[in-house]
Amino acid sequence: MNSIALKGISKQFGDTIALKDISLYFEENKIYGLLGRNGAGKSTMLNIIANRLFADSGEVTVNGLAAAENDQAQQLIYLMSEQTLYPESMKIQEVFKWTKNFYPNFDLAYAQNLAAKFGLDTKKKVRSLSTGYGSIFKIIVALSVNTPYVLLDEPVLGLDANHRDMFYKLLIEKYSKSPSTFIISTHLIEEVSSVIEDIIIIKNGTIIKNESCESLLSKGYTVSGKASQVDAFIEGKEVIGIDRLGGLKTAHIIGDLDRCQVPDSLEVTKLDLQKLFIQLTNS
Amino acid sequence: MNSIALKGISKQFGDTIALKDISLYFEENKIYGLLGRNGAGKSTMLNIIANRLFADSGEVTVNGLAAAENDQAQQLIYLMSEQTLYPESMKIQEVFKWTKNFYPNFDLAYAQNLAAKFGLDTKKKVRSLSTGYGSIFKIIVALSVNTPYVLLDEPVLGLDANHRDMFYKLLIEKYSKSPSTFIISTHLIEEVSSVIEDIIIIKNGTIIKNESCESLLSKGYTVSGKASQVDAFIEGKEVIGIDRLGGLKTAHIIGDLDRCQVPDSLEVTKLDLQKLFIQLTNS
């Protein structure tokens, strides 16, 4: 089966353990959400896959090829990251051409079309872009490279809501027409939840969840009401977090919900992905 | 009445009109969302209020005092913005002390308490902070200054979901204990919608909405279903946007909803603030 496979990947920076013995598959033609708090190890993982960092131990393979120091494997991967690797004095249209040299399937016409849609002037130099347009420029390259695996590290940083909405729609459109694997690392979890199929949550360098978005969401719910009634209801259940406001209490619960069990005085709502994430990763 | 009042404020940068004849009140003890796309004029407005930019015409007053070049008025205002005004080599604990010199009501003990909560090491220098911790550091100062008006320009930039959640909770807690005016400019519109009371939407330098969040949200809804049925339903209604997916159509509508009018085959949902914003500000 074609995939990116991580086997026993560990990485340490000085005394800080960034990744602890990570084993993981990213299958072909799937959209993944790689979620974690600041410093959890997401970027380290993506950088190791894309050969920008070396693991201390373990191995990454891409469709069976060793990923480290291997151009043949790296041609299958594109990583959009916060650091810009292009010369800052290059014009955007030059970057497009330059990218096509390394990624022959880069679709120049599509990239120019996207630039027009986002209102990005391709005659501008990379260094002249604002944070938002810097992200837009990198999103456009990522959507146009046509590699089997596209890794997006914080793709929507600095984008306004309209441009984020446009990006999510373009991603789904692109994926529907010609499926490939997208791995999206983002802090805007609720927004991305309608785009991603599988979720990988990383906490302190360890994978704590790896399952479908649908399955994860089906297991969480929230109960609110008078503190005493909430306390009675949650006894014996797996409570992952509690909020208090005056005499009221809200409990976030993992487990199957039997609606018949819930007294009328308590309000039950679905736990959304962002709230679930916060509860699972709070220290 | 105490307020920040803008009267006929205009500002141009070269050929670009940033603000066009803006008149507006920010009342005391209210939480405002100042929303707009990248480049709409939000930061320009906040910088004119805080005396960091001069208006080409018009006047800003703070509790009746002229805001421009007036320390007495500026002591009533704190602006948290993307640019850091502190010397980059200063340690955070030094910035806290320095802030207290200009804002005598700055609560040092509270700031230190918040730093501990967010895991911010106050012995670090300003320049050593990541984007996320740079925002956290500035949020802490803004929540501790105790001026009647606090202006927050993109306060949650780079924060993970847990820290954003913590910030919104602290803001509400602070506001409940000692009310003051907060003006929050942000691109994370859906998240902030539960925190803000009034909404000001700015588009191309002009105010297009200025009303309570509740009132704005009560007027919008979304109808989805077969394209032909949606088309029949929306005839004569104020449609602010349409999405298509295959033979299905989703229409976003402004107006009162009469549920009896809606055929069973169509699905009606509330329009959330972010979707409403996107529809109102798309060009």
- For the four alpha carbons of B88, B89, B91 and B95, in that order, the dihedral sign comes to negative
- The verdict on B251 and B116 lying in the same domain is no
Q: What's the pLDDT score for residue B262?
A: 86
Q: Find the domain containing A225 and state its range.
A: 219-281
Distance from CA of A82 to the nearest CA of B (A): 11
- Summarised one tens digit per residue, pLDDT across range B10-64 is 999 999 999 999 999 999 999 999 999 999 999 999 999 999 999 999 999 999 9
- The verdict on B205 and B118 lying in the same domain is yes
105-164 in A: which are within 8 Å (CB) of B? 130, 132, 157-164
Which of B165, B189, B214 lies at the terminal end of a domain, its last residue?
A: B214
Predicted confidence (pLDDT) at residue B246 exceeds the cutoff of 80: no
Ramachandran sector of residue A69 (left: φ over 0; alpha: ψ -120 to 50; beta: rest): left
CATH code for position B184: 3.40.50.300
Nearest alpha-carbon partner for B209 in B198, B194, B220: B198
- The verdict on B45 and B93 lying in the same domain is yes
Q: Which residues of A6-33 are buried (b: 16+ CB within 10 A; e: fewer)?
A: beebbbeeeeebbbbebebebebebbbb
Helix axes A131-144, A92-102, angle to 10 degrees: 30
- Note whether B274 contacts A163, CB cutoff 8 Å: no
Q: How far apart are CA B44 and CA B235, in angstroms?
A: 40
Query: Which residue bears the tokens 């803006």?
Result: B22
A166 touches chain B (CB under 8 A): no
- The verdict on B146 and B169 lying in the same domain is yes
Predicted confidence (pLDDT) at residue A167 exceeds the cutoff of 80: yes
- Summarised one tens digit per residue, pLDDT across range B42-54 is 999 999 999 999 9
Residues of B in contact with A278 (CB under 8 A): 161-162, 165
B190 touches chain A (CB under 8 A): yes
pLDDT mean across residues, chain A: 94
Residues of B in contact with A190 (CB under 8 A): 190-191
- The verdict on B7 and B135 lying in the same domain is yes
- The verdict on B72 and B162 lying in the same domain is yes
Predicted confidence (pLDDT) at residue A110 exceeds the cutoff of 80: yes
Please indicate whether residue A262 or residue A14 has the higher confidence score (pLDDT): A14
Average pLDDT over residues B222-248: 89
- The verdict on A109 and A145 lying in the same domain is yes
Task: Give chain A's domain count.
Answer: 2
Kind and range of the H or E run holding B202: strand B198-203
In the three-class reduction of DSSP (H, G, I as helix; E, B as strand; rest coil), residue B153 is classed as strand
Q: How far apart are CA A20 and CA A239, in angstroms?
A: 27
- The verdict on B81 and B176 lying in the same domain is yes
Average pLDDT over residues B144-164: 96
- Note whether B37 contacts A188, CB cutoff 8 Å: no
- The verdict on B137 and B251 lying in the same domain is no
**DSSP class of residue B126?**
G
- The verdict on B175 and B248 lying in the same domain is no
Which of A167, A198, A214 lies at the terminal end of a domain, its last residue?
A: A214
Residue from B35, B82, B118, B160 to probe the interface with A (highest A Cβ count within 10 Å): B160
What secondary structure does DSSP assign to A48-60, as a single string?
Answer: HHTTSS--SEEEE
Least confident of B72-76, B83-87, B226-230: B83-87
A241 touches chain B (CB under 8 A): no
Closest by Cβ to B161, choosing from A160, A162, A187: A187
Residue B276: pLDDT band with limits 50, 70, 90: very high
Residue A263: pLDDT band with limits 50, 70, 90: confident
Q: How far apart are CA A143 and CA A234, in angstroms?
A: 46
- Note whether A162 contacts B282, CB cutoff 8 Å: yes
- Note whether B161 contacts A189, CB cutoff 8 Å: yes
- The verdict on A276 and A151 lying in the same domain is no
Binning chain A into helix, strand and coil, the percentages to the nearest 5 are 35, 35, 35
CATH code for position A259: 3.30.70
- The verdict on A11 and A89 lying in the same domain is yes
